[in-house]
């Protein structure tokens, strides 16, 4: 067969294959896209007007005003739209099942089986429900770090790029980090904050002992009692060796100090997530160059009970919430680099908008949920900005990004197009749609 | 290069609580946070900040030997009866406003303790009330380490029902067993490590180094108690449990530094004195628990008469602000002299915490931790006007009042 | 059947014998209601004060108490306690302060008071001769009684009952319950908790309002039945107890601390015709003018931490002085039982923070007497008043002072207590 005939045949076969596909929503087959005529916020460089972005095989190929459209590209006119890098939520529970409520039978069909609260070896990836995770794209979020919020040692997180239908294939970094929540457990050790610190300390001591014990055995096993495998202690080894980051979730100002104290005592790398009072430690954070994932979960659910001050100081609670809201703005003023993350806030973008309302410049906010987040997570060499060579995670917005009325019209993840559905019109102008 | 920081407190009556006794119309000179001179007719050096204490009373900063102020989250790690590895120093909350309120009550140093949930609780933190400084700067440098024990109703959970399976112990017999077992385990741990060290030494540089035993932070602390490196502060009430603890301590060759609360201490005062422990007690709290039913306000006086070093403590953010009147009650109940009563909130708790070289009296060389009162601290209209820690004024009532915005709090709320 | 609404019980018989005559001679007499008598004599007879003055003669045959160099005071009145209702706080068998259920208007403190409680002599030994014993907890806790701290039966102790109906203003917050200490609490955001609080508060206030309305109707039915117009209503102890409160005849002591809640309580009282007394009143200084305007008295305890981090550090200490400046009627109270003996030092703290000494003493003597409607017969040293007095070695508000003599109803009381007995026994032990 001649090459031309072969090619024609292939084309016919391809056409046939296309037509033969089931009636369900066809997967985008296009490998090359050109978005033309858009305002492009690259984040890494100046904003371009009336420009073109080309992506091929899941990678950004070209960005610029006069960039030519490749002949095999699907051209999409993006006039009046704003392109930004896909938003990154660097600390979330995206795609994880809701924690089981207390009490028998309260969980329902979607409740997860309870997992151990002290399991550094548990992998968040194993718990991700793909269909749930993908919903985040409606808000323009393309990349998420996922770790359960319950427990003290919830395990190791995964960074997912939200495309495809298999969790593993979504994993951009697996594992991403090992996590320690500065919280306490209800009916077991550690039941106090000092217990949590002691537990972490003992765990690391045990991990060192485990390492040395196994190393000695591997060197010369003859005559020695064989050490036992311990999944939890094995999980700590990469952190001990400096190959994996320990992310400490800080709820209080001094949790940041505690995180640094652990880092110093065991000479390991730490990052801090949450940190609603971090601005009080701006100088320390800057000096120690701590990767900071600042949460926008300003009013998290807390125990509703009377113990510890029957009268309660509501004024202080309110003040603390306000401090948390202006935390990003204050950090920015102090010149601290940080990511903005949901930290399990029910509405990530609403939280980001609140931070802007409280003084964080919108550009800084956008950076904090794109390149700034990528930097904090150690993936800035591959994503977080609209530059050639980076992963094609791109959002086309109608309206100014990070404003209330902004809508993600097109969301590209790994160069795959996803078009969020128009949300049903809300009854009240104030109602927030989920994920917007 | 700045010169020394000089402060002079002049014109007041100085209750030194030291060998110089009471000095009327005296002065205290402070240099770089330390007391440089105490006496009458002292020359105030040029450049010194002068604090006019005319008509006022100047005493050493109050030391509260039983406090739970400035602890972040839970005061107790209740999950186990022995939790010697947890550390209060890990959870000091430098922003707890009660630190400021206690400064306003003349307090300058706290023994911040783990709670009484467990037979053997956690490690303490001795802190100075340097209000506004970060947690690490509150720690009293080089204060001896301490740990909390608890005996009686609290560790055996007599007075509430915790959910889940019951925790051992439920009786005073069990409390003793927990102590005995813990120190036997500590002895075994100590032997294990001594054998390991012997082996390492004998091998020298040759041969395969043996693997060290697993380091247990819990047993390390218990071992250090056995080695006399940690002060034991034991919450206790009943006379028989006080004797029990003395027996255990002597059996395992360590000392109890202080019995805390020790409300029946008066029944076994000579035994406490013979053991060499101090006693840190309430002035007159009683009848809130069965084990507090025989508590009497003469407790401090009787123990002091037997030669026990007694301090008055608060175990309460609220009471900590009024310890000067708690001390005064030792005069009322049992006829303790005013100077001895003052010692109960200054020099005696300093000794109990092993910091009497640094604080507890106004003497040359000691830290300038000082409280200035409007009248004699035992007088019914006395109130604290200023409090200094390391020669720095951390509380000044006049400034506090001037800074208030609500009119109701300014008008007459002042002088 | 319960005694009528206001029952006064006499402690001593009207007839005096020579043995009843006591003269306290040569002391400094702080009358409270008038100027201090630097050196004088008080004569008591038949349970009453029969003479006070610098030049009073000691009657023949009188028992003489030499008070030279000492100070004579009216017996202190602790205006809010659980004395007699509690022995050992953690031992449920010994505690009778709080009945089951939220609504117990018919619970009467005097019924459950234990005259042989060890706590009574302890308070009395430091000059407290009378105390309000009040039930606690729930929404409507019950009726308080004014007790005289000497007597071997509840009736003998009871000076007046009911003094007031005690209630707790709904704060919308769950009450502290030690048995639920280890329970895993529900997790809610601040906004959710604020909503819950408001809803809960409104619900409880509505409940309280309904109860008062029902009680008013019940009272009217009782009156009509008495007049023979209708058959008597079905017996209902709670309603019967609440009716005089709803009619404004028996005052309400409402436990309330927060500023907004105090305002709410004042409004509620006005709407329902209640005679309001505030107990606690930690924020009262913030609404002093309102309290003055509505003539609401306050039973304030001083040894409390401020409510808010931003409150002045001396908020509770300076509260009485602020109330005094605003002309609000108030008493300083221990709000405790085993700590009642420290009442003078609470007054001292108020004094150190702005309350003049005379007003401080009045707050633990005549003022509570007046607030409870016995101001003509207790709380001061004047002829005709009850002979409740004590002698102290110095200023009673000075923690170093001791009490040397205590008279209740004209009878000298033993100063022996459980504490002095243990002291005597163990100070001898080598």
C-alpha span between B394 and A374 (Å, rounded): 44
Residue A60's φ and ψ, nearest 5 degrees, are -75, 125
- Whole-number pLDDT of residue B218: 98
Give the B window 93-132 contacts with A, CB below 8 Å.
Answer: 93-95, 114, 122
| Local confidence band at A156 (pLDDT 50, 70, 90 cut-offs) | very high
- Pure H helices in A249-313: 253-266, 282-288
Residue with the bigger pLDDT between C260 and B413: it is: C260
Residues of chain C with Cβ-Cβ distance to B382 below 8 Å are 352
pLDDT in tens, A201-226: 999 999 999 999 999 999 999 988 89
A188 touches chain B (CB under 8 A): yes
Cα C130 versus chain centre, distance: 8
The string of DSSP codes covering C83-117 is: TTTBSSTT-GGGB-S--SSSB-TT-BHHHH--TT-
Burial class (CB in 10 A: 0-12, 13-18, 19+), A123: middle
| Alpha-carbon distances, residue C114 vs B230, B296, C7, C133, C416 (angstroms) | 47, 21, 19, 11, 18
* Cα gap B53→B26, rounded to integer Å: 9
Q: Which of A192, A206, A254 sits opposite B86 (nearest CB)?
A: A192
Average pLDDT, chain A: 90
Assign 3-state DSSP to chain A and report helix, strand, coil percentages, each to 5. 30, 20, 45
Of B79, B164, B216, the CB nearest to A195: B79
pLDDT digits (tens, 9 = 90+) for C351-360: 999 999 999 9
CB contact under 8 A, A189 and B211: no
State residue A108's pLDDT score: 44
At C6 the pLDDT is 43
Chains in touch with B (≥3 Cβ pairs < 8 A): A, C
Q: Name the residue among B86, B135, B214 with its Cβ closest to that of A206.
A: B214
Count Cβ atoms within 10 A of the Cβ of residue A142 and give its class: 0-12 exposed, 13-18 middle, 19 or more buried: buried
Q: Find all residues with CB under 8 Å of A263, minimum gap 6, and list them.
A: A246, A269, A270
pLDDT at B95: 97
Burial of B80 (0-12, 13-18, 19+ CB in 10 A): buried
Percent of chain C surpassing pLDDT 70: 93
- Asked if C284 and C300 count as a contact pair (C-beta separation under 8 A), the reply is yes
Instruction: Inform me whether the C-beta atom of residue C51 falls under 8 Å from chain B C-beta atoms.
Output: no
Q: Mean pLDDT for each consecutive 10-residue tract of chain B (415 residues)? A: 90 97 98 98 94 98 98 95 98 98 98 97 98 98 98 92 86 97 98 95 80 96 98 98 98 98 98 98 97 98 98 98 98 96 98 98 98 98 98 98 73 38
With CA atoms as reference, report the closest residue to B96 among B78, B123, B73.
B73
Tokens 């609440």: give the residue: C242
Tens of pLDDT, residue by residue over C77-103, are 999 999 999 999 999 999 999 999 999
Nearest to A179 by CA among A151, A144, A143, A199: A151
- C76-373: in CATH 3.20.20.140: yes
Secondary element (H or E) of residue C154: helix C154-157
Q: How far is B387 from chain C (nearest CA, A)?
A: 14
CB-based contacts of A269: which residues, under 8 Å, 6+ apart?
A239, A242, A244, A245, A246, A263
Q: Please check whether residue C179 touches A, CB under 8 A.
A: no
CA distance C193 to A301: 9
Cβ-defined contact of A315 to C308 (cutoff 8 Å): yes
C402 and B408 within 8 Å at the Cβ level: the answer is no
Taking only residues 255 to 294 of chain A, the set having a beta carbon closer than 8 angstroms to any beta carbon of chain B reads: 257-258, 261
Residue B79 C-alpha, separation from nearest chain A C-alpha, in angstroms: 5
Tokens 């953010």 -> residue: B317
Using CA atoms, how far apart are residues A58 and B43, in angstroms rounded to an integer?
82
The CATH number of the domain holding residue A296 is: 3.20.20.140
C90 with B158: Cβ contact below 8 A: yes
CA–CA gap between residue A318 and residue B281 (Å, rounded): 38
- List, in order of start, the domains of chain B with CATH numbers: 1-61+360-415 (2.30.40.10), 62-191+210-359 (3.20.20.140)
Asked if A300 and C189 come within 8 Å (Cβ–Cβ), the reply is: yes
Q: Which two tokens stand for residue A89?
A: 């939520």
Nearest chain B residue (CA) to A188: B79
Q: Is C383 helix (H, G, I), strand (E, B) or coil?
A: coil
A-B CB pairs within 8 A amount to: 89
The C-alpha atoms of residue C341 and residue B332 are separated, in whole angstroms, by 13
Predicted pLDDT at A432: 45
Confidence band, pLDDT 50/70/90 cuts, at residue C14: very low
Torsion angle of the four alpha carbons A186, A191, A196, A200, in this order, in degrees rounded to the nearest 10: -80
Q: How confident is the model at residue A277 (pLDDT cuts 50, 70, 90)?
A: very high
Please state the domain count of chain A.
Answer: 1
What is the pLDDT confidence band of residue C17, given thresholds at 50, 70 and 90?
low
Chain C residue numbers touching A299 (CB-CB < 8 A): 189-191
What totals of helices (H) and strands (E) does chain B contain, helices first?
Answer: 11, 17
Q: Cβ of B78 and A191 within 8 Å?
A: yes
**How high is the pLDDT of residue C180?**
61
Contact B311, B63 (CB under 8 A): yes
Neighbour-count burial for C127-140, b at 16+ CB within 10 Å, e otherwise: bbbbbbbbbbbbbb
C191 shares contact with chain A (CB less than 8 Å): yes
Q: What is the pLDDT of residue A186?
A: 87
Instruction: Look up the domain containing A192 and give its range.
Output: 118-303+313-376
B42–A contact, CB cutoff 8 A = no
What value does the mean pLDDT take over residues A182-208?
96
**CA distance to A302, A406, C203, C215, per residue, from C210 (Å):** 34, 51, 11, 8
Q: Tell me if C192 and A317 make a contact (CB, 8 A cut-off).
A: no
**DSSP state for residue C228 in the 8-state scheme:** T
The three-state secondary structure class of B188 is: helix
Cβ-nearest to C400 among B296, B297, B328:
B328
CB C171 within 8 A of CB C197: yes
Of C321, C342, C422, nearest to B296 by CB-CB distance is C422
Using CA coordinates, name the residue in chain B closest to A307.
B74
Phi-psi region of B312 (alpha: psi -120 to 50; beta: other; left: phi over 0): beta
Structure tokens, C34:
């008038």
Pick the closest to residue C95 from C2, C178, C151 (CA basis). C178
pLDDT at A426: 62
Is A31 inside a domain boundary? no
Q: Which residues of B337-375 are buried (b: 16+ CB within 10 A; e: fewer)?
A: ebebbbbbbbbbbbbbbbbbebbbbbbeebbbbbbbbbb
3-state secondary structure of C207: helix
8 A C-beta contact, residue C161 and residue C3: yes
- For A208, counting Cβ atoms within 10 Å of its Cβ (0-12 exposed, 13-18 middle, 19+ buried), the class is middle
**Contact with chain A for residue B165, Cβ under 8 A:** no
DSSP-based three-state secondary structure for B314: coil
pLDDT tens by residue, C186-232: 788 999 999 999 999 999 999 999 999 999 999 999 999 999 999 99
Of A301, A304, A313, the CB nearest to C308: A313
Q: Does B80 touch chain A (CB under 8 A)?
A: yes
Of C305, C423, C426, the CB nearest to B317: C305
Q: How far is A346 from chain C (nearest CA, A)?
A: 11
> Which residues from B are below 8 Å from A259, CB to CB?
none
- Residue pair A237/A264 in contact by the 8 Å Cβ criterion: no
Nearest residue, CB atoms, B302 vs list C349, C400, C426: C426
Q: How far is residue A174's CA from residue A177's CA, in Å, rounded to a whole number?
A: 8
Q: Residues B147, B221: contact at Cβ < 8 Å? A: yes
* ipTM computed for the complex: 0.95
Query: Which two structure tokens, joined as six digits, stand for C329?
Result: 């009627």
A77: phi then psi, degrees, rounded to nearest 5: -75, 130
**Touching subunits for chain A (3+ Cβ pairs under 8 A):** B, C
Residue A18 pLDDT > 80, yes or no? no
Cβ contact, residue pair C88, B297, below 8 Å: no
Q: Is 60 exceeded by the pLDDT of residue A13?
A: no
Residue A117 backbone class (left: φ over 0; alpha: ψ -120 to 50; beta: rest): alpha
C429, pLDDT greater than 90: yes
Q: Which of C183, C187, C281 to mutate to test the interface with A (most CBs of A within 10 A)?
A: C187
Torsion of CA A173, A174, A177, A183, to 10 degrees: 120
Q: Say what the pLDDT of residue A20 is.
A: 47
Confidence of residue A103 (pLDDT cuts 50, 70, 90): very low
- In this complex, the chains that touch C, judged by 3 or more CB pairs closer than 8 A, are A, B
| Chain A environment of C260 (Cβ under 8 Å) | none
Q: Chain C: give the shortest CA distance to residue B415, in Å.
A: 8
Q: Which of C183, C184, C187 sits opposite A301 (nearest CB)?
A: C187
Task: Give the per-residue pLDDT at B1.
Answer: 60
Interchain proximity C191–A303, CB inside 8 Å? no
C contact test, residue of B268, B413, B415 with most C CBs within 10 A: B413
Q: Does C199 touch chain A (CB under 8 A)?
A: no
Q: Which residues contact A326 (CB under 8 A, 6 or more apart)?
A: A279, A358, A359
The angle, 0 to 180 degrees and rounded to 10, between the axes of the packed helices A348-357 and A314-333 is 80
Interface test with C, best of A117, A302, A311, A325 (most C CBs within 10 A): A311
Closest chain B residue to C337 measured between Cα atoms? B287
Q: Give the per-residue pLDDT at A350.
A: 98
What beta strand segments (E) does A104-241 contain? 141-146, 155-156, 158-161, 171-173, 177-181
């Amino acid at each position: 067969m001649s090459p031309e005939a072969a090619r024609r045949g292939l084309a016919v076969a391809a056409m046939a294959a296309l037509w033969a596909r089931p009636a369900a929503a066809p997967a985008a087959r296009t490998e090359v896209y050109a978005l033309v005529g858009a305002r492009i916020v690259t984040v890494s460089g100046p904003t371009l007007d009336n420009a073109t972005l080309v992506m091929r095989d899941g990678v950004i190929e070209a960005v610029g005003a006069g960039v030519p459209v490749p002949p095999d590209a699907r051209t999409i006119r993006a006039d009046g739209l704003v392109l930004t890098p896909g938003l990154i939520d660097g600390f979330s529970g995206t795609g994880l099942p809701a924690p089981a409520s207390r009490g028998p039978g309260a969980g329902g069909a979607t409740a997860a089986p309870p997992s151990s609260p002290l399991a550094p070896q548990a992998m968040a990836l194993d718990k991700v429900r793909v269909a749930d995770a993908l919903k985040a794209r409606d808000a323009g979020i393309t990349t998420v770090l996922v770790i359960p919020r319950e427990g003290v040692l919830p395990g190791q997180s995964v960074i997912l790029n939200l495309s495809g239908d298999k969790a593993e294939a979504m994993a951009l970094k697996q594992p991403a980090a090992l996590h320690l929540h500065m919280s306490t457990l209800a009916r077991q050790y550690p039941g106090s904050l000092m217990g949590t610190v002691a537990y972490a300390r003992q765990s690391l001591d045990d991990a060192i002992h485990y390492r040395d014990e196994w190393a000695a055995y591997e060197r010369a096993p003859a005559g020695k009692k064989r050490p036992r495998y311990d999944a939890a202690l094995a999980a700590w080894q990469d952190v001990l060796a400096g190959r994996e980051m320990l992310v400490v979730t800080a709820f209080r100002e001094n949790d940041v100090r505690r995180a640094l104290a652990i880092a110093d005592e065991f000479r390991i790398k730490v990052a801090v997530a949450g940190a609603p009072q971090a601005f009080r430690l701006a100088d320390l954070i800057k000096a120690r160059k701590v990767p900071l994932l600042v949460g926008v979960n300003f009013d998290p659910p807390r125990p509703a009970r009377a113990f510890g001050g029957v009268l309660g100081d509501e004024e202080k609670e309110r003040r603390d919430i306000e401090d948390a809201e202006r935390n990003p703005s204050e950090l920015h003023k102090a010149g601290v680099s940080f990511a903005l993350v949901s930290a399990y806030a029910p509405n990530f973008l609403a939280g980001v908008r609140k931070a802007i309302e409280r003084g964080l410049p919108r550009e800084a906010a956008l950076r904090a949920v794109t390149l700034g987040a990528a930097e904090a997570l150690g993936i800035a060499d591959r994503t977080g900005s609209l530059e050639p060579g980076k992963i094609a995670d791109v959002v086309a917005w109608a309206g100014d990004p990070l404003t209330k009325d902004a809508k993600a019209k097109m969301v590209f993840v790994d160069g795959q197009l996803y078009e969020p559905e128009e949300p049903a019109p809300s009854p009240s102008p104030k109602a927030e749609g989920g994920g917007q | 290069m700045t010169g020394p920081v000089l402060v002079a407190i002049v014109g007041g009556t100085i209750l030194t609580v030291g060998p110089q006794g009471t000095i009327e119309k005296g002065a205290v000179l402070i240099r770089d946070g330390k007391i440089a001179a105490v006496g009458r007719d002292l020359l105030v050096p040029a450049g010194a900040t002068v604090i006019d204490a005319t008509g006022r009373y100047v005493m050493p900063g109050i030391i509260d030997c039983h406090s739970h102020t400035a602890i972040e989250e839970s005061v107790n790690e209740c999950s186990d009866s022995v939790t010697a590895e947890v550390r209060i120093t890990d959870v000091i909350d430098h922003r707890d406003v009660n630190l400021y309120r206690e400064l306003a009550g003349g307090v300058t140093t706290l023994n911040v303790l783990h709670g009484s949930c467990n037979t053997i609780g956690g490690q303490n933190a001795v802190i100075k009330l340097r209000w506004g400084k970060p947690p690490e700067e509150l720690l009293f440098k080089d204060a001896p380490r301490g740990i909390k024990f608890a005996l009686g109703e609290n560790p055996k959970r007599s007075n509430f029902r915790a959910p889940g399976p019951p925790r051992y112990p439920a009786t005073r017999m069990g409390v003793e067993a927990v102590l005995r077992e813990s120190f036997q385990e500590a002895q075994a741990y100590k032997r294990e490590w001594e054998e390991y060290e012997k082996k390492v030494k004998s091998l020298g540089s040759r041969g395969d180094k043996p693997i060290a035993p697993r380091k247990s932070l819990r047993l390390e602390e218990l071992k250090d108690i056995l080695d006399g490196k940690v002060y034991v502060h034991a919450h206790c009430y009943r006379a028989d449990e006080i004797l029990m603890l003395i027996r255990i301590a002597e059996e395992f060759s360590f000392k109890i530094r202080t019995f805390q609360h020790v409300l029946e201490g008066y029944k076994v005062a000579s035994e406490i004195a013979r053991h060499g422990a101090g006693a840190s007690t309430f002035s007159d709290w009683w009848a809130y628990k069965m084990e507090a039913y025989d508590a009497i306000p003469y407790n401090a006086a009787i123990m002091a008469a037997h030669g026990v070093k007694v301090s008055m403590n608060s175990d309460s953010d609220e009471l900590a602000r009024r310890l000067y009147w708690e001390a005064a009650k030792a005069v009322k109940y049992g006829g303790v002299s005013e100077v001895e009563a003052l010692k109960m909130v200054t020099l005696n708790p300093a000794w109990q915490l092993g910091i009497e070289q640094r604080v507890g009296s106004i003497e040359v060389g000691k830290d300038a931790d000082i409280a200035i009162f409007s009248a004699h601290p035992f007088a019914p209209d006395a109130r604290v006007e200023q409090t200094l820690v390391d020669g720095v004024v951390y509380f000044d009532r006049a400034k506090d009042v001037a800074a208030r915005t609500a009119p109701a709090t300014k008008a007459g709320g002042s002088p | 059947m319960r005694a009528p609404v206001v029952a006064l019980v006499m402690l001593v018989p009207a007839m005096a014998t020579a043995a009843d005559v006591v003269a306290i001679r040569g002391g400094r007499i702080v009358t409270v209601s008038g100027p201090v008598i630097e050196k004088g004599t008080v004569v008591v007879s038949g349970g009453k004060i029969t003479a006070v003055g610098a030049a009073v003669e000691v009657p023949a045959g009188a028992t003489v108490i030499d008070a030279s160099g000492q100070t004579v005071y009216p017996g202190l009145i602790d205006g809010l306690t659980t004395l007699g209702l509690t022995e050992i706080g953690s031992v449920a068998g010994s505690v009778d302060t709080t009945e089951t259920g939220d609504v117990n208007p018919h619970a009467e403190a005097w019924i459950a008071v234990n005259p042989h409680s060890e706590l009574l002599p302890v308070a009395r030994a430091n000059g407290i001769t009378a105390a309000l014993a009040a039930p606690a907890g729930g929404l409507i806790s019950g009726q308080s009684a004014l007790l005289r701290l000497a007597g071997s039966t509840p009736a003998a102790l009871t000076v007046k009952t009911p003094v007031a109906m005690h209630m707790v203003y709904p704060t919308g917050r769950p009450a502290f319950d030690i048995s639920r200490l280890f329970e895993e609490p529900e997790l809610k955001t601040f906004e959710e908790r604020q909503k819950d609080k408001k809803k809960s508060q409104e619900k409880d206030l509505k409940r309280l309002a309904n109860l008062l309305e029902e009680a008013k109707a019940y009272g009217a039915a009782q009156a009509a039945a008495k007049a023979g117009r209708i058959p008597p209503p079905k017996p209902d102890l709670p309603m019967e107890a609440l009716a005089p409160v709803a009619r404004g005849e028996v005052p309400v002591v409402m436990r309330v601390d927060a500023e907004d809640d105090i305002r709410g309580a004042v409004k509620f009282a006005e709407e329902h015709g209640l005679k309001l007394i505030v107990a606690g009143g930690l924020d009262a200084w913030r609404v002093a003018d309102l309290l003055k305007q509505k003539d609401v008295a306050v039973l304030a305890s001083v040894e409390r931490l401020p409510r808010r981090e931003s409150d002045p550090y001396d908020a509770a200490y300076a509260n009485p002085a602020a109330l005094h400046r605003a002309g609000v009627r108030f008493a300083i109270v221990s709000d405790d039982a085993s700590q009642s003996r420290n009442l003078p030092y609470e007054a001292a703290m108020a004094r150190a923070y702005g309350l003049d000494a005379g007003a401080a003493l009045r707050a633990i003597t005549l003022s509570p007497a007046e607030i409870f409607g016995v101001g003509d017969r207790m709380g001061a040293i004047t002829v005709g008043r009850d002979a409740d007095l004590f002698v102290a070695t110095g200023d009673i508000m000075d923690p170093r002072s001791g009490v040397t003599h205590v008279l209740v109803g004209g009878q000298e009381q033993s100063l022996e207590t459980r504490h002095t007995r243990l002291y005597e026994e163990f100070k001898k032990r080598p």
